[in-house]
């Protein structure tokens, strides 16, 4: 593992990493347990990933914790996830403060149970001045819903003569998304062997590098993040340009 760490170019780590934490249910099923057991055992992976990202100099880490579609899961599982969210945020707050972590949330957070909203908002407020890394949890999040809401809000401003259609550009759209205070994603990691992005940050991942691993999320550790970053650093990010243009900075 130390060799992998030495291989990482600390001057070229992704600025923003997004993670689809997949495989909790399958991990639990493989151990003869209920899905909730997998969610509980995923916390170590979240903590280690956040700590490692921060140590490497990653400034933004966004984790897909609960999608808009997840509300359709069995009530028992949803209730357990909301309870786990509350207890985890309360427990981790002292560590967030000690490690200089700013907590953020994106999604329709008003749809969360009131106790979860209260704890989440408290942690966000308490950590708002922390600066080492911004840890964002996507909660009740769906990218299509996010984009639809942005279009509706922009349209209202046009109708009310607060904005001209000709002035609408990428920056305007960005400013109306949940992620208005976050940069675009550089690297997206999905665990559990699935090869899709599942309605996650569709706009923000326009030029992201995608990394898929067969590791189930509860087993994801520091070495797996190293592997993802090393893979990222071995790719050529062209943003529509040619290799020759990148080499000459044109």
Is 22 known to be catalytic? yes
Where does the pLDDT of residue 236 fall: very low under 50, low under 70, confident under 90, or very high at 90 and above? confident
Q: What is the pLDDT of residues 45-102, one digit of tens each?
A: 999 999 999 999 999 999 999 999 999 999 999 999 999 999 999 999 999 999 999 9
**Residue among 22, 24, 104, 186 flagged as catalytic:** 22
The 3-state DSSP class for residue 135 equals strand
Sign of CA dihedral 124, 129, 130, 133: positive
CA separation for the pair 44, 21 (Å, rounded): 12
Is 70 known to be catalytic? yes
DSSP 8-state code for residue 112: S
Please state which of the four CATH numbers 3.40.630.40, 3.30.200.20, 3.50.50.60, 3.40.1180.10 is assigned to the domain occupying 2-142+186-233: 3.40.1180.10
**Confidence check: pLDDT of 3 > 90:** no
User: Can you spell out the DSSP letters for 169-227?
Assistant: -HHHHHHTSTTTTSPPPSEEEE-TT----TTSSTTTTTT-EEEE-SS-GGG--HHHHHH
Percent of the chain with pLDDT strictly greater than 70: 94
**Residue among 15, 51, 70, 231 flagged as catalytic:** 70
């Amino acid at each position: 593992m130390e060799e992998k760490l030495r291989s990482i170019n600390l001057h070229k780590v992704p600025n923003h990493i997004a993670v689809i934490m997949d495989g909790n249910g399958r991990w639990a099923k493989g151990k003869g347990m209920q899905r909730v057991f997998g969610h509980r055992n995923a916390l170590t992976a979240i903590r280690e990933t956040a700590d490692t990202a921060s140590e490497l100099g990653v400034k933004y880490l966004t984790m897909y914790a609960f999608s808009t579609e997840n509300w359709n899961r069995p009530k028992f599982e949803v209730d357990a996830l909301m309870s786990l969210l509350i207890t985890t945020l309360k427990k981790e707050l002292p560590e967030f403060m000690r490690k200089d972590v700013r907590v953020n949330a994106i999604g329709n957070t008003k749809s969360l149970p009131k106790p979860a909203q209260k704890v989440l908002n408290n942690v966000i407020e308490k950590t708002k001045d922390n600066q080492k890394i911004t840890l964002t949890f996507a909660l009740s999040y769906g990218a299509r819903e996010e984009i639809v809401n942005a279009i509706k809000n922009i349209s209202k401003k046009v109708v009310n003569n607060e904005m001209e259609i000709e002035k609408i550009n990428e920056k305007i759209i960005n400013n109306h998304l949940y992620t208005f205070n976050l940069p675009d994603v550089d690297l997206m990691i999905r665990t559990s062997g699935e090869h899709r992005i599942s309605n996650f940050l569709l706009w923000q991942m326009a030029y992201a590098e995608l990394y898929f691993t067969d590791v189930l999320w509860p087993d994801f550790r520091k070495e797996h993040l190293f592997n993802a970053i090393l893979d990222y650093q071995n790719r050529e990010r062209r943003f529509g340009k040619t290799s020759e243009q990148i080499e000459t900075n044109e």
